[in-house]
Amino acid sequence: MKLITKMITIAGLAAALVSCSDNDVKTAQNEDFKYLVDEFADLKIMRYQVPGWDELSLQQKKYVYHLAEAAKHGRDIIWMQNCKYNLDIRRVVENILENYTGDRTCQEWAQFEEYAKRLFFSNGIHHHYAEDKFFPECPQEYFQSLMTATGDDAKCEDILPVIYDPAIFPARKDMHADDIIAASAVNFYENVTRAEVEALYAAMADPEDKTPVSYGLNSRVVKGADGIVREEVYKVGGLYGNALKKICKELKKAARYAENETQKDYIADLIAYYRTGDLKLWDKYNIQWVNDTLGTVDFVNGFVEDYNDPLGRKATFESLVNFKDAEASRRTELISDNAQWFEDNSPVDSRFKKEEVKGVTAKVINVAVLAGDCYPAAPIGINLPNADWIRREHGSKSVTIANLTSAYSKAAQESPKSQLSEFAWDETEMEMEKKYGGLTNDLHTDLHECLGHGSGKLLPETSPNALGEFSSTLEETRADLFGLYYLADPKLVELGILPDMEAYKAQYSSYIRNGIFTQFTRVALGKKNMEAHMQNRKLIADWCYEKGLADNVIEKKVRDGKTYFVVNDYEALRGLFGELLAEVQRIKSEGDYAAGKALVEKYAVDIDYDLHKEVLERYAALGLKPYGGFLNPEIVPVKKGLKVVDYEIVYQDSYLDQMLKYGKEYSDL
């Protein structure tokens, strides 16, 4: 469930230790460190630093290194999951980039190269956020000539229509088709209908089971020539088996350097799960993992998030490797220590509250590698595991990713223009954002991940899959509302987390401004709002705007032909957040599919055309990019003779070079 800090790492490597040019090696000791390294289309590529690396022991660095290698070996899996043609297309593009000897200075080549960069960023042919297919600006004939020149002429008939024909796989996930399974390009299903998939899992599930496995999480559903609907399970010897074999090999190496026996035990369970596909082992791994609160180094590796599945059941591969920032974690630990107070004082019906909040742990981390569905675009906060019964009985881990949040902030400072000055109503609003915005944004992430996702409970008779295709949007709505409601609570000032009772207003103003208006810089004009997190923000902002109209809680203002959305009554807005939180929690707890559907379809999907056109024009004038992603640093072994004596962080500055390098070194399918 997707969604900070200091210290400086070292990387002073001799050139002989790395296979890159001097320009590729940038260290945090360099005062000229640049965060922003590339921009194209609607995207920017940034680098992140890894503070605290030198404070890790050699054993911990070895642990991180092998966990990072395991993470990167899952790269091909996410490409295949997003669309079955993605890997074939990527390899054609890689071949052209590596081997084309023709003119690389013409406009058509620049257009091809931009398409390649977009393809790598999205792990496939569909926009990573909007989910619709994007196309090369260079003519199809030119693309074909590149394929011919690099020996891939035989593939043109199969590949080019998938790239250029708007009718073929138009959307990675289509939530408005008559059959959302058949209409979606994701490679979770083959030759089956929604009704057939739902019947398959209805037959598997035991409604009396209080600790159910996540049926379908790690499989593809297909219907063969015999007419039988069956699962193809992700496992060694099964679907994606070669990549999983490589992941297991690196996990086994990592276990040798684990910090404690608990880490060794749950890595063994994770390996066993990958070898068998047994979802009970996945649950066993998650239970042990969530209870490991002593280690400094931690990781996510698995089929985790279900946002890309139209039915919200099947998970994409993702991984990140990280270590704790002890100083910055004091804030999140304070929040988690008071989790029961927040649960008890929530505005939701007492029937839906947890009598005892268990195992809620929170920390601030610095990430060392991003992979799978976390790369290049990455979350800034995570709360796992996802299984409701594990969260209820064993708790959850929540993290805020400090060095990514810092990189976003530093990269924005490298830009000469500001979104805030264009869309904030007045100087008071801007000054409030400058004074409190960074803190309240981080705190909202903390509350969202640590408490929001971990709050509430399902009624005993409610299935965790009851909300179907609306589950992701409604879950993000619930977590955001929990954070927004408590941002304005005096408890945060009492705990010393917020400096005063005015600070929360910065987040309230920016959240409404973004949810109603500015976030749609990320959507093409005339398109619907499709991504779960964007839907959640629109649902909250539009619902509150409508419900507060009579009292002018949020006011739409126009000045010099420009539209602004201004919060007039912050206290009343908090009341609306609480009211909506109570309803969304009821919907989840009771599994009220009809009410959840009505909320999403009324408030979350359709974008006002005139507002959309205006925000796109105003944003375009700023010259900013609405989406960001990251280059990973390299973790490089330092040797004396044959012995590894250290690992250094080496920062890369070429986006395409990293993508091509990964294509060579981690191409396992």
Q: Give yes or no for residue 25 having a pLDDT over 70.
A: no
Residue 77 · residue 315 · CB < 8 Å: no
Instruction: Give the tens place of pLDDT for each residue, 544-582.
Output: 999 999 999 999 999 999 999 999 999 999 999 999 999
- Report phi then psi at 359, rounded to 5: 60, 30
- Let me know the angle formed at the C-alpha of 264 by 635 and 327, rounded to the nearest 5 degrees: 60
Q: Residue 272: is it exposed, middle or buried by C-beta count within 10 angstroms (0-12/13-18/19+)?
A: middle
Residue 207 · residue 460 · CB < 8 Å: no
Do the domain assignments include residue 211? Answer: no
Look over the chain and give the mean of its residue pLDDT values, rounded to a whole number.
93
86 pLDDT tier (thresholds 50, 70, 90): very high
Exposure b/e, 78-117, CB count within 10 A at least 16 = b? bbbbbbbbbbbbbbbbbbbbeebeeeeeeebbebbbbbbb
Residue 153: CB atoms within 10 A of its CB come to 12
Do the domain assignments include residue 293? Answer: yes
Q: Give yes or no for residue 67 having a pLDDT over 80.
A: yes
Amino acid at 537: R
Do the domain assignments include residue 605? Answer: yes
Do the domain assignments include residue 574? Answer: yes
Residue 320 · residue 378 · CB < 8 Å: yes
pLDDT number for residue 31 = 57
- C-alpha distance from residue 104 to each of 107, 117, 152, 612 (Å): 9, 15, 18, 37
Which DSSP string do the residues of 597-610 spell out, in sequence order?
A: HHHHHHHTS---HH
Instruction: Give the tens place of pLDDT for each residue, 166-197.
Output: 999 999 999 889 999 999 999 999 999 999 99
Report the greatest alpha carbon distance in the chain: 76
Q: What share of the chain is helix, strand, coil (3-state, %, to 5)?
A: 50, 15, 35
Q: Give yes or no for residue 73 having a pLDDT over 60.
A: yes
Q: Which domain holds residue 537?
A: 15-69+239-630
Do the domain assignments include residue 320? Answer: yes
DSSP state of 449: I
* Chain centroid, CA 579 distance in Å: 28
DSSP state of 526: T
Do the domain assignments include residue 94? Answer: no
Instruction: Give the tens place of pLDDT for each residue, 598-636.
Output: 999 999 999 999 999 999 999 999 999 999 999 999 999
Pairwise CA distance, residues 424 & 441, whole Å: 16
Those residues with Cβ within 8 angstroms of residue 41's Cβ, 6 or more apart along the chain or in another chain: 114, 117, 118, 134
Pairwise CA distance, residues 484 & 511, whole Å: 9
Average pLDDT estimate for 245-268: 98
Do the domain assignments include residue 108? Answer: no
Q: Are strands 219-223 and 189-190 parallel, antiparallel or unpaired?
A: parallel
Exposure b/e, 380-395, CB count within 10 A at least 16 = b? bbbbbbbbbbbbbebb
Residue 222 · residue 200 · CB < 8 Å: no
Q: Taking the model in full, what pTM does it have?
A: 0.85
pLDDT number for residue 258 = 98
Q: Give yes or no for residue 3 having a pLDDT over 90.
A: no
Instruction: Give the tens place of pLDDT for each residue, 120-159.
Output: 999 999 999 889 999 999 999 999 999 999 999 999 999 9
Do the domain assignments include residue 207? Answer: no
Residue 138 · residue 60 · CB < 8 Å: no
Domains: count for the chain: 1
What 3-state class would DSSP assign to 197? helix
